Structure 1
Amino acid sequence: MKHIATYQIHDTFKITGRGIVFSGHILDGDFMTGDLIRFDFNGQILDRKIKGIDTGIRVEEGKPNVGVMIDCLNEKEIDDLRNWIPNKITGKIYSNR
């Protein structure tokens, strides 16, 4: 896998029945569904598959807001991530492409 993009996580949202969505900005590169996001969650490095991407209309810091839906292991992980305050942590995006 190679590093292809960097994504800054600003917030998290739970979509009932679907999972967790990160809200943030792409700092560099480009990515797509099926790629992997690696991020630090409370001192633990997590790798999760990206299962959806949505570009919003709200523009902050000169960049459009991008929602990234990820696969989670279970409901507990979804709830833990929903209650997490990412504080603009940076996630690295990897791909086999």
Structure 2
Amino acid sequence: MTKIYTLTLAPSLDSATQTPQIYPEGKLRCSAPVFEPGGGGINVARAVTFLGGKATAIFPVGGATGEHLAALLADEQVPVETVETRDWTRQNLH
């Protein structure tokens, strides 16, 4: 089977939360955030791995968000090759 390498230049730590209702002038109480790996190439590597193929995600990482992103991919058993950067990996809130 051919091994696939993906390159993600702008990876992200995607986070999402929810609230049961939005009040115009009230305080919102949100659920605990859920985190997922994000970025085009990372998503391809995750899908290939999930389907039983072999893929390695290559991407820059920085700071605690980068460490969290790499740990999430390790939990999913997606092989990674990372390049350390001074800047933190971006985090998106959905």
State the TM-score, normalizing by the size of structure 1.
0.28
Larger Rg belongs to? 2
- Normalized per residue, the structure richer in strand is 1
Identify the structure with the greater helix proportion. Answer: 2
What TM-score, normalized to structure 2? Answer: 0.28
Higher relative contact order (CA 8 A, sep 6+): 1
